[in-house]
Chain A
Amino acid sequence: MNIQISDSWLREFLETKATPSQIAEYLSLCSQSVGKLIKDEKETVYDIEITTNRPDCLSVYGIARELSAILPRFEINARLKEIPVAKIPKVKSGFPLQVKISKTELCPRFTALVFDNVIIKPSPLSVRKRLENSGIRALNNVVDISNYLMLELGQPMHTFDYDKILKHKMFLRESKEGEEIITLDGQRRKLKEGIIVIEDGEGRIVDLCGIMGGKNSETDKNTKRVLLFVQTYNPMKIRKACQALGFRTEAASRFEKGLDPEGVIPAMERATLLFKEWCGGKVGNELTDIYPSPPKPKTVIVTKVKIDTIMGINIKLEDAKKFLDNLGFKTKIDAKTNSLTAEVPHWRNGDIEIPEDLIEEIARLYGYHNLPNTLPPISSLNYQKEATFEWEDKIKTALKYWGFTETVSYSMARKDLIHNPADHLKISNPLTEDLLYLRTSLIPSLLEVISKNPTEEGIKIFEMANAYLPRGKKELPLETMTLTLAVKGESKYLEVKGILDALLKELGITKFSIKPEKFPSLNYGAQIFIGETNIGIIGEVVSPELTRFGINQKVTVLDIQLNRLLSFATHAKGYIPLPKYPPIIEDLSFVFPPQTFIGPIIEEIKKINEIIKEVEFIDSYQNTRTFRITYQSQERNLTDSEIKSIRKKIIDFVSAKFRAQVKEAL
């Protein structure tokens, strides 16, 4: 959460000669970050990002308090000034208020005070300007006091018109399902169960506690008596209420972080002064202060060994003590145990719990910028080499050099991009309907990329990403790394198949098989096997599917389950002694019946004799297929007659098994 505070305001609480840019820099280095300095001729405004653990810094005073400890570390004097207040007088009779609280845990501290004789008018110009600098619109002196003090002291407060609280009774309780309130902004809000509200003596809900007041009890230009409310609430309750209502105010953002109940009275006293000065208001009854269980002071102990271990330097306990004391801790050094015992200031009760919290305080005041830069020494490491990442990089690099462009698309897809929504994980709170289902295949994503680039010719793309396969409602899905290629253009099937061949070869895999199979969305679909393991599919996307994506050219896809493939990948390459005897190479052509698969023929020919070293498919014309056969022996020169008999075996076998007819050799 960011706050904007004016420099002149800050200096009302901090006496220092530090310039605004020094303040910005040193505050950023040691505490909360100043994002920007906004300057005009009269004023500098600090835009400060306050971390969620430090609600005590969400105020002008809180920042001044931090700076009073930080600036001296940069050799700049700084003194925190007193908060100007008026003591609350004890008024016996006057304007009564009866308060009842249903459960103490809803509201750790409840205070209320009535001001009489209030004259509603605009606030002083300087006040209005400061509010504006902080992003809050000035309304009138009464409302402005509550906003001004929220910014100045970090304590939100609310003002009611005392005469609109019927019977002058208040009952703080949890809301019931279906109750309603019209809030100050004019919105009618339906309440769920368990939101902290206040009802008056007539049962009307007059306040949505900690979030926004009710329209029915707001101050207006005729208001004479103001009921000022200063409370702390159960932060969890406020947070849940905001979530349930779907709206959050600046006050709520502060309450839900947990506020210091000890800060309530100073805020009340400060308000008393401002009511007197700005509105002419006089205290009109006794202060109501319901505070059943004030928190006990908390102490945290940290040893010097621990401080030194985390900071990586040798720090004197005296210095550490000084840093903590300047931040408001009450610290004692225990020489025997070589440790510090620190009593936590009440405004830090919420965030200081463990020794590490104290170390953070010590270290940031010592200055992180004063700590050395050292690389951590390696004592030992137990990791086994994990090759997956190397293989993935190798595959991507190979594809790049084979002319492919890598794409990265969202893991989520819209409904019409996927086939069976029920088989997909679904996001219950999607950002848009485009990102609704977790994809189980990358093919639609690649088709979408192709469709988005209609003018691009010869698209060759790939993506490597997880697919998410559901495994029931109690188990995380299987995340399988998938490699998908898509090539746009006519007759690209064998080109894509060639990529598969080359890819497997890169991975040291020489044996795999292709089994044609029917897929609803693929023509010429086939499964790819290594041994018994199906590692993926290849095929040409069917036209209806292409039409759906608005693609008017063919697209061939290859889809590989990378984890399965990589389980076969190997760097090991067997060494075969270089041949001493020359090979004999010849081409054989056969005429086959139409649509004869060539893969099995090549495999079968290789099995005929061990001197058949290689069978290459080199040419195809109509139904004629030409193979280049390499005969080679490791032991001897091959003779013509030897070749002749093997050649005959090949011809006989192919002719018989595949109903082919040999064409005479040239």
Chain B
Amino acid sequence: MIKDQIRNLKNEAVGEILEAKSLQELEKIRVIFLGRSGKINALTKEIPKLPADERGGIGKLINETKKTIEEVLSQTQNKLTKTDRKTEWIDVTAPGIKPPEGHLHLITEAISEISSIFASLGFHRARYPEVEWDWYSFEGLNMGENHPARDEWETFFIEGLENQKYGKGILTPHTSSGQLREMERYTPPLRMLNIAKCYRRQSDMSHAPMFYQFEGLVVDKNINISHLKGTIDYFTKQYFGPDRKSRIRPFHFQFTEPSFEVDVTCLICHGKGCRTCKEGWMELGGSGMVHPKVLKNGGIDPEKYSGFAFGWGVERVLMMKYGINDIRLLFEGDLRFLKQF
């Protein structure tokens, strides 16, 4: 009786194995017959119920059956492995199945790129408070409360926030506040790249009330104007392209002396002069040699050390690079825009 069962099982298994068309099908069959709860195991469980003298023989028979099934299975598996590839037709012209598609914000991309360019010159990244005391943003930068130069930085004030020592609480209108913070935190030589949000009471195509700046600060012995020029030139060639030229020209900031405005040759007309630029040049932003008073306010002896600094708009450089004409697009959260990058 049980012998018939075993024989039937063997035939059934071998039959199904030979019929199998794919490796997946074969695996299913294996589980049915040889799996832990498979049919062979089920039969094995019957053995103890048999009369003692039959157990040995049946056990042997089950083992042989198992072996046979395994052999056929393995042969068929070999055969299928060789032929399986060709059975399924793949339309090579059909669109592929894409991984999920996400997008980093343009500002994030620009910050990464800028950071890595300056990292290669040994600049370390920093980020200082956005809500800041007047001292760090103005007074300590040689700009007293009634200085006309302050008009350039239309500043947001925080209601009721004031400190006896540091003055009023404001939203910092530039990353230059990080100069004093950095000087307080480390001793020279300094090589800082402070990237942070800044705020000014302005809103038009090229100004948003919130924007990012990146501020470079180098303080060491014998730092001079040519170092500033060299650093600017390295950055503009890396970021905008090797055929870009840069120049500095006189400007005025209270916290640098001398101060400069930095220009890059226009990306559109390549320096020939066009409607979007000034006689072939585009303004990148301000820079200068750190004012001795600022060094002093930061606890650094201006007789021993000198330094340069620059602070430019992240959006400004990326808008120049990508030809985006309205800065406010960057902050409006329009996914049709954000998904372009």
Contacts and interface: CB of A to CB of B under 8 A. Distances in A.
A459 B260 contact: no
A400 B339 CA distance: 11
Contacts, number: 243
B189 A381 contact: yes
Contacts of B210: 410-412
B108 A360 contact: no
Interface stretch (B58-66, B82-90, B220-228): B220-228
Contacts of B157: 427-429
Contacts of B186: 382-383
Interface of B: 36-37, 99-105, 107-108, 112, 115, 121-122, 124-125, 127, 129-133, 146, 148-149, 151-152, 156-164, 169, 171, 186-187, 189, 191, 197, 199, 201-203, 209-210, 218, 220-227, 229-231, 233-234, 247-252, 257-261, 278-279, 289, 291-292, 306, 330-336, 338-339
B256 to A, nearest CB: 9
A394 B125 CA distance: 16
Contact of A426 (B105, B121, B159, B248): B159
11 contacts: A29-B249, A240-B146, A312-B224, A312-B227, A381-B191, A408-B105, A411-B210, A429-B157, A431-B203, A461-B335, A666-B37
Contacts of B108: 396, 406, 408
Nearest to A452: B333
Given A51-B252, A378-B191, A476-B129, A406 B338 contact: yes
A354 interface: yes
Contacts of A92: none
A386 B125 contact: yes
Contacts of A256: 148
B171 A427 contact: yes
A36 interface: yes
Contacts of B223: 376
Interface in A207-261: 235-236, 239-240, 256-257
Nearest to B208: A410
B203 A375 contact: no
A368 B158 contact: no
B189 A363 contact: no
Nearest to A477: B131
Given A410-B209, A477-B131, 14 more contacts: A32-B250, A33-B249, A52-B148, A52-B152, A256-B148, A376-B223, A376-B230, A405-B335, A407-B333, A426-B160, A427-B158, A428-B157, A429-B156, A438-B131
Contacts of A400: 102-104
A239 B261 CA distance: 26
B272 to A, nearest CB: 13
B306 A309 contact: yes
4 A-B pairs with least C-beta separation? A403-B100, A312-B224, A360-B258, A51-B252
Interface in A401-454: 401-412, 425-432, 435, 438, 445, 448-449, 452-453
A449 B227 contact: no
A468 interface: yes
B100 A401 contact: yes
A357 interface: yes
B146 A236 contact: yes
Interface of A: 21, 24-25, 28-37, 51-54, 235-236, 239-240, 256-257, 309-313, 354, 356-357, 359-360, 363-364, 368-369, 371-376, 378-383, 386, 389, 393, 396-397, 399-412, 425-432, 435, 438, 445, 448-449, 452-453, 456, 459-461, 465-466, 468, 473-477, 479, 586, 665-666
A403 B101 contact: yes
A476 B169 contact: yes
B121 A25 contact: no
A340 to B, nearest CB: 16
Contacts of A452: 332-334
A453 B334 CA distance: 7
Nearest to A459: B335
A479 B252 contact: no
B131 A368 contact: no
A35 B263 CA distance: 12
A428 B225 CA distance: 40
A358 to B, nearest CB: 10
A374 B158 CA distance: 42
